[in-house]
A = this chain, B = another copy of it.
């Protein structure tokens, strides 16, 4: 295999509603149609199995690092971050790795 994966998790600020979270998921879900460099795009909400878990996750697969960087810096992506994610984030954990 040869690819590049981006994983990011969020915990939301107190008072964040499920509606706000749904909006993040919906807006992110529009990105694969707007950014052809996205290979696979998996969005998830914590299943509630373990205490202390993060609340929201994105696992995104790209052909290579360059394709990831296009996504990272794409105006459509930044717009979702700025308008929907940044206002409600309490904690963020991320990593990128070669698959």
Instruction: Give the most central of A42, A46, A91, A94: most B CB within 10 Å.
Output: A94
Binds B, one of A16-24, A29-37, A50-58, A79-87: A50-58
Contact-size category for A = 20 to 34
Quick one: which of B9, B44, B46, B68 contacts A9, CB cutoff 8 A?
B9
CB distance from A62 to the nearest CB of B (A): 11
- The residues of B that contact A26 with a CB separation of less than 8 Å are none
Mark interface residues in A51-74 (1 if CB within 8 Å of B CB, else 0). 011111101000001001100100
Chain A positions within 8 Å of B, measured between CB atoms, are 4-5, 7, 9, 42, 44-47, 49-50, 52-57, 59, 65, 68-69, 72, 91, 93-99
